[in-house]
């Protein structure tokens, strides 16, 4: 029972990470390979703020905001040349640029902050809920991510900008013809993806800890989920996150980390071979 | 092609000559010999990656994985099955070629674009990396394997290692030169410009891409096996994406894609840069990343095409050059955005 709950919460975590990747890909035609590093940036800022004895809630918010800002800067600077191209050219240019950025950030974090880690401790390690012992961290992360997704949903369904973003994902040219400011929507999306990544970093901090070298791991996890869920489908990504979260929790519980990684990667490769549009892409 | 073969061979011979006397400059310092040898290793990988990415548009982010296949297989075959070193290296090369060819075949058949090939091969790289870490009985996990005595003895003699690698590099450059002097080269040029048009004019795109991938992967596997021998020690991390694929990508971009000498010049420059930032530890990773971004943004042509352009302007002799459209800056076509 504990494994199932852990899996669900891990799935929500994965969703926080991968929804950002899917958003940016669907909207900008850019696969952001530096996504995990954005998350780590947020986590490190939060950790530094906490070290400086800032109020924990403010520190967490600061971290999330910092991740959003890193993504925003990425969008306004490095990705601009990519946006000027189209289709395959844009994908390739952005792929290499974000790959380079991810290495640059990785190198910077591990060089400058080798010993900084974000670790959020709650007052009580575990509580009894309906007869089973539950880690408070799981509850906190679950609540945090559900709240975040609630806000995201309200934004997407309720505001004009959110509607515009959904329009662009469906058809960029059509949205542009209807007067949607595509460039602004892209920037907002990257900022949002950064915020989501920042929240995921906090979640990781609750679970165990977040170190400066965890960027690649996050990026790869987000990629795997995005691939399995279908790189253009938000529902698919959400389902894939929950599924892979459960699989991940169950496998690491019973068989160990290496095999878990291999299994997750193999699922991603198999998805690409069997159904490149995503295993769960066209679900309602 | 109307270019006489002696003229075609000239650059290859020049590279061979320059690199052959390089050890004299290094004197007897084993450290400098090691750097020079590692540069040759990188240059060989870059030649292969140039064929894959530059000429057939296949973004294989699994150069390190293919090299590790060559390295580990050649070592394990000798250690556990008591094969002779040469046979083991040969088998490892074939295995790498088969793997690369298979990846390419699947990608072409499924119609993957650059992005999807990149993701699939990156995932394969990580699978291989985790397998090497996880299969402790066979690979010794993170600890790695000491390869001394299991290879052809390149680890004992720095000069021997250098010249063997140089022979491989020169042979691969000669092969490259031959390829692009033949009609196969013309076919590769055609398909790197536009695959559909190439297919329509009777070029078997699948066969060419798969054959190129298999050949390039064979080179990577062979060099990976030789590296295992000359390094004296292998572990998953010496073949990791960050240690092989990224340097190869940077070196190729630095030197110039789709050129004969680009991979060699790029590898040489990269080795110099790498040596300069090495004292700063983790900063090397940062430097790789910044180099990659800066090169791809500002200097996509690379050193070799730029120098060639300068020389051509200096001496406007009637040169016969291959019909290559140099790094055309694409005017946004009507292609659909996204995959």
Answer yes or no: is B319 within a domain.
Answer: no
Q: What is the DSSP string of A118-175?
A: B----SSSEEEETTEEEEHHHHHHHHHHHHHHHHHHHHHHHSHHHHHHHHHHH-HHHH
Answer yes or no: is B307 within a domain.
Answer: no
Residues found in chain B:
339
What is the token pair recorded at A74?
A: 């990425």
Q: What is the 3-state secondary structure (H, E, C) of chain B?
A: CCCCHHHHHHHHHHHHHHHHHHHHHHCCCHHHHHHHHHHHHHHHHHHHHHHHHHHCCCCCCCHHHHHHHHHHHHHHHHHHHCCCHHHHHHHHHHHHHHHHHHHHHHHHHCCCCHHHHHHHHHHHHHHHHHHHHHCHHHHCHHHCEECCCCCCCCCCCHHHHHHHHHHHHHHHHHHHHHHHHCHHHHHHHHHHHCHHHHHHCCCCHHHHHHHHHHHHHHHHHHHHHHHHHHHCEECHHHHCCCCCHHHHHHHHHHHCCCCCCHHHHHHHHHHHHHHHHHHHCCHHHHHHHHHHHHHHHHCCCCHHHHHHHHHHHHCCCCCCCCCCCCCCCCCCCCCCCCC
Q: Which of B110, B130, B332 sits opposite A258 (nearest CB)?
A: B130
Q: Residue B320 pLDDT > 70, yes or no?
A: no
How far apart, in whole angstroms, are the C-alpha atoms of residue B131 and residue A239?
Answer: 28
How far apart, in whole angstroms, are the C-alpha atoms of residue B169 and residue B265?
Answer: 13
**Looking at the complex, does the CB of residue A35 fall below 8 Å from at least one CB of chain B?**
no
How far apart, in whole angstroms, are the C-alpha atoms of residue B173 and residue B177?
Answer: 6
Calculate the dihedral angle through the C-alpha atoms of B24, B29, B31, B32, rounding to the nearest 10 degrees: -20
**Looking at the complex, does the CB of residue B249 fall below 8 Å from at least one CB of chain A?**
yes
Residues of A in contact with B114 (CB under 8 A): 88, 91-92, 95
Provide the pLDDT for residue A201: 93
What is the token pair recorded at A18?
A: 């991968």
Q: Residue B174 pLDDT > 60, yes or no?
A: yes
Provide the pLDDT for residue A66: 96
Q: For residue B130, give Cα distances in angstroms to A144, B68, B92, B221.
A: 32, 12, 19, 19
Range with the poorest average pLDDT among A138-152, A207-221, B220-234, B271-285: B271-285
How far apart, in whole angstroms, are the C-alpha atoms of residue B220 and residue B103?
Answer: 14
Of the candidates A138, A216, A110, A267, the one whose C-alpha atom is nearest the C-alpha of residue B241 is A216
Of the candidates A140, A127, A117, the one whose C-alpha atom is nearest the C-alpha of residue A213 is A117
Burial (CB count <10 Å: 0-12, 13-18, 19+), residue A248 = buried
A86–B339: do the CB atoms touch at under 8 Å? Answer: no
Q: If pLDDT is split at 50, 70 and 90, which confidence band does B316 have?
A: low
Q: Are B87 and B159 in contact (CB under 8 A)?
A: no
Answer yes or no: is B94 within a domain.
Answer: yes
Burial (CB count <10 Å: 0-12, 13-18, 19+), residue B103 = buried
Range with the poorest average pLDDT among A88-92, A218-222, B176-180: A88-92
Q: If pLDDT is split at 50, 70 and 90, which confidence band does B276 have?
A: confident
Q: Are A162 and A29 in contact (CB under 8 A)?
A: no
Answer yes or no: is B311 within a domain.
Answer: no
How far apart, in whole angstroms, are the C-alpha atoms of residue B67 and residue B243?
Answer: 11
Residues B31-90 have pLDDT tens digits of 888 999 999 999 999 999 999 999 998 999 999 999 999 999 999 999 999 999 999 999
Give the mean pLDDT of A263-282: 78
Answer yes or no: is B120 within a domain.
Answer: yes
Range among A73-77, B111-115, B222-226 rated most confident: B222-226
Side-chain-side CA neighbours of A137 within 13 Å: the count stands at 16
Q: Residue B328 pLDDT > 70, yes or no?
A: no
Which residues have CB under 8 Å from A3's CB, separation 6+?
A: A249, A250, A253
Compute φ and ψ for B146, nearest 5 degrees: -85, 120
Range with the poorest average pLDDT among A116-125, B135-144, B292-301, B317-326: B317-326
Compute φ and ψ for A135, nearest 5 degrees: -70, 135
A106–B116: do the CB atoms touch at under 8 Å? Answer: no
Q: Which of B113, B120, B282 sits opposite A88 (nearest CB)?
A: B113
Residues B78-99 have pLDDT tens digits of 999 999 999 999 999 999 999 9
Answer yes or no: is B324 within a domain.
Answer: no
Q: How many domains are contained in chain B? A: 1
What is the token pair recorded at B73?
A: 């297989």
Catalogue the E-assigned strands of A81-125: none
Answer yes or no: is B314 within a domain.
Answer: no
Which domain range does residue B175 map to?
A: 5-240
Q: Are A245 and A43 in contact (CB under 8 A)?
A: no
Q: Which of B285, B332, B338 sits opposite A103 (nearest CB)?
A: B285
ipTM (interface pTM): 0.85
Range with the poorest average pLDDT among A1-10, A45-54, B161-170: A1-10
B192: which strand partners?
Answer: none
Answer yes or no: is B92 within a domain.
Answer: yes
- Indicate the average pLDDT of chain B: 86
Q: Are A169 and A26 in contact (CB under 8 A)?
A: yes
Q: Which of residues 100-119 of A touch B (CB under 8 A)?
A: 100-108, 110-111, 114
How far apart, in whole angstroms, are the C-alpha atoms of residue A205 and residue A63?
Answer: 11
Other beta carbons within 10 angstroms of residue B70's beta carbon come to 33
B114–A87: do the CB atoms touch at under 8 Å? Answer: no
Q: Which residue of A has its CA nearest to B110?
A: A273
């Amino acid at each position: 029972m504990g494994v199932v709950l852990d899996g669900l919460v891990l799935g929500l975590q994965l969703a926080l990470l991968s929804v950002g990747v899917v958003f940016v890909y669907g909207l900008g035609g850019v696969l952001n390979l530096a996504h995990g590093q954005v998350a780590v940036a947020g986590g490190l800022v939060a950790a530094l703020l906490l070290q400086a004895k800032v109020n924990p809630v403010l520190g967490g918010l600061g971290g999330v905001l910092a991740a959003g800002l890193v993504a925003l800067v990425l969008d306004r600077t490095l990705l601009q040349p990519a946006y000027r191209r189209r289709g395959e050219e844009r994908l390739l240019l952005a792929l290499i640029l974000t790959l380079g950025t991810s290495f640059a950030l990785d190198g910077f974090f591990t060089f400058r902050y080798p010993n900084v880690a974000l670790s959020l401790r709650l007052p009580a390690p575990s509580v009894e809920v309906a007869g089973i012992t539950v880690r408070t961290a799981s509850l906190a992360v679950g609540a945090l991510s559900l709240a975040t997704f609630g806000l995201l949903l309200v934004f997407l369904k309720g505001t004009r900008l959110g509607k515009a973003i959904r329009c662009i994902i469906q058809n960029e040219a059509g949205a542009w013809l209807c007067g949607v400011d595509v460039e602004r929507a892209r920037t907002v999306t990257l900022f949002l993806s950064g915020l989501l990544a920042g929240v995921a970093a906090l979640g990781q901090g609750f679970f165990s800890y977040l170190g400066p070298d965890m960027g690649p791991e996050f990026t790869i996890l987000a990629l795997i989920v995005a691939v399995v869920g279908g790189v253009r489908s938000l529902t698919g990504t959400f389902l894939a996150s929950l599924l892979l979260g459960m699989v991940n929790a169950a496998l690491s519980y019973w068989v160990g980390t290496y095999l878990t990684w291999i299994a997750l990667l193999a699922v991603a490769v198999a998805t690409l071979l069997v159904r490149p549009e995503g295993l769960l892409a066209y679900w309602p | 092609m109307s270019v006489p073969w002696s003229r075609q061979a000239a650059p290859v011979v020049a590279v061979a000559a320059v690199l052959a006397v390089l050890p004299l400059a290094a004197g007897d310092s084993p450290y400098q010999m090691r750097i020079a040898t590692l540069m040759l290793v990188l240059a060989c990988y870059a030649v292969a990656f140039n064929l894959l990415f530059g000429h057939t548009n296949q973004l294989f982010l699994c150069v390190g994985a293919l090299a590790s296949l060559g390295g580990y297989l050649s070592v394990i075959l000798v250690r556990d099955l008591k094969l002779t070193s040469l046979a083991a290296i040969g088998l490892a090369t074939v295995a790498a070629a088969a793997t690369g060819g298979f990846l390419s075949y699947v990608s072409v058949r499924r119609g993957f674009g650059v992005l999807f090939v990149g993701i699939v091969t990156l995932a394969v790289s990580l699978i291989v990396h985790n397998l090497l870490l996880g299969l402790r009985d066979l690979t010794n996990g993170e600890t790695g394997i000491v390869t001394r005595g299991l290879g052809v003895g390149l680890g004992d003699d720095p000069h021997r290692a250098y010249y063997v690698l140089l022979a491989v590099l020169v042979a691969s450059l000669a092969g490259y030169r031959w390829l692009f002097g033949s009609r196969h080269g013309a076919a590769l040029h055609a398909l790197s410009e536009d695959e559909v048009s190439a297919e329509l004019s009777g070029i078997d795109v699948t066969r060419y891409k798969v054959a190129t991938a298999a050949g390039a992967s064979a080179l990577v596997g062979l060099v990976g096996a030789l590296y295992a021998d000359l390094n004296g020690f292998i572990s998953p991390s010496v073949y990791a994406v960050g240690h092989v694929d990224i340097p190869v990508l940077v070196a190729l971009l630095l030197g110039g894609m789709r050129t004969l000498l680009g991979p060699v010049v790029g590898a040489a420059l990269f080795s110099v840069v790498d040596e300069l930032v090495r004292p700063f530890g983790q900063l090397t990773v940062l430097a790789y990343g910044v180099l990659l971004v800066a090169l791809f943004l500002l200097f996509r042509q690379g050193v070799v095409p730029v120098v060639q352009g300068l020389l051509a302007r200096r001496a406007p002799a009637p040169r016969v050059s291959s019909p290559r459209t140099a790094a055309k800056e694409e005017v946004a076509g009507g292609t659909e955005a996204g995959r």
